[in-house]
Structure 1
């Protein structure tokens, strides 16, 4: 989930400030953030935080960075770094000066006198306001009333707000704003453009939506003869259909990736529909038609979706932690796997004597060597180390009484169902079959 966010973040930035704690080590997440910034070719400024703590050791962090071939200026390198304390505000002004210096050296400039272009950072559905998209203007100036096209969504901007919720009339380069007026939730990472003509924006949006539909139809795996053969060979091939709804597009994307990675040879996870917003009645009807389960992330059913789901017996699961959703789905898939049957030997007995009884057959007088022999066990007759017969017991007796089990060191009489060819010295092995729950590979 976070990898996708970091990768998208690195794509839209000009300079990345990477924060590391001075009282700790360089964490794996920090290393990942650094490699995303390097992959996107974004210059890095390091902020070494928490220097107000008594056990802070900024030099240790710099040493760690040096081991990763990242030399900061204090150590004779080219990368800017500054020691700060977010809690006390120490060094934050100097850090911002270093960022401005970096921007000046890189000549990071944008023309504000043209129609705005930029990137969608996140999008969600607000109950009272409709679809809200957080965007970052990268060049030009965005004004209220502009016609915007982002991905397969378009619309006229009705309102713009800054990060504190204040109204904004226009947004220049490198300004983040949330906008209202798009007809849907664009995907995080989509580029947006401003058009002079609303009709043109709508046409392109419709064309993109059509292309996306065609693409999704093409990528649906239609079943081939080889695939049918593979499924028959596996015996129990199953599909798990999922409808996924989330509060923001980033979470939906992250969950989609995580769920699809759970697919195995025996169970294929199929996400038939994903979207931003609450779980609606149409989602429940789609689940009924396609035999799917509905997973909501930070969203709930609205209207009479819950009642319809109850009547149609559709499972709606709601989560607020990605790991919970993944673990639950994993458990559900393990439950769908056909269990493996394992044999457990419960005991062995040696035949010491044989008694032929008319109308009954041959009864074996045995001594239990180890374990226990149960009346309802399955048995194998072993002669000179070779299995001669596998079957079950007709009766198990101690003296004249029927018993349920006989323990080690006791003698007993056994009769094998529909089998009389027994000899002294044969070994009877009792076993039962246990179903073991399969694990996902």
Structure 2
């Protein structure tokens, strides 16, 4: 089916550009409006459940609150335990009706706010604005998924659709290994034709993500010869570990800056006679003297790239720079696992065009692509290479994410649920 999907959506977009809302679409919209108070009530309920990533009990409680909602809609839904990757687990809901493309909807249950955070409660600030931990990132997006599916059910359009919902419990702090913690997403993507993420994106209802930069960690380890500082640069001693690390970092800076939309950042550096690096806590120790040539250096950082091709090219450049070491030094660079990039494919652009047309049909105006520099990594990236089309950022508009100032615009909840519901409906046709 996937090889025909791009042509299918091209034809669908051409039709949608001139289409008025149908009676079925009107019914979908009316259901969202009438049920919006219940949606806000459910949003408040799950926001008031602390589900910081490492609060496994809280993450499970959010899942247990939402599971009956999916079951009531006819989904085969369960909670998949995450003990093998040291996280709570994921909510997975599946509906198989046999009509239209296979669609994956992506949310997450966890937040960045730990169980001991002072930021714990939903609070209504005025008629349209509310604050609370995870209200926009991304419990609001989870509610939009449910609202859209409920509206389709009310219009008798859901039962014959093919939909998988994956709400992960470790988006904010991924379990390891990623091959296990992201397996549910990757398996669903291999089944799906289209992946749609309900993160809050850049917080604006006028934008969505057709691309996200991937991110991986790197660790540079440098060795030199320890000696009295009076012998630095001599033939027998050389420049030492700190000068070699500096050469490498400066070469990264000089040779990689021309890569479009690439960022590479050394976040920590430890150097001296003896150094340690505690990866699990992002800490380390150093010992050295001003009159001793440094024997060791460790630098850790990350790379954010727009495509796998760019990432592989940059990694090879970094390896060549590291290998061209100064005399009497030796350096190695290791690349860790991370989030893959979600490249801005033609399929993704076509899906955005359809979503934007729906927004215009609803009187909400155009939706444009987010600048990849303004978009962090997200779970949708693990699906992008296995689907024909992907789109993210369809969640609840807000601001202040990851801080105690996190807020959401409640007036956007029904508006964005309508767009999502009509997107699913038109994809079904």
Same fold, TM exceeding 0.5?
Answer: no
Larger radius of gyration: 1
TM-score range, shorter chain: under 0.3
TM-score normalized by the length of structure 2 = 0.22
Structure with greater helix share of residues: 2
Larger RCO, structures 1/2 (Cα 8 Å, 6+ apart): 2
TM-score normalized by the length of structure 1 = 0.22
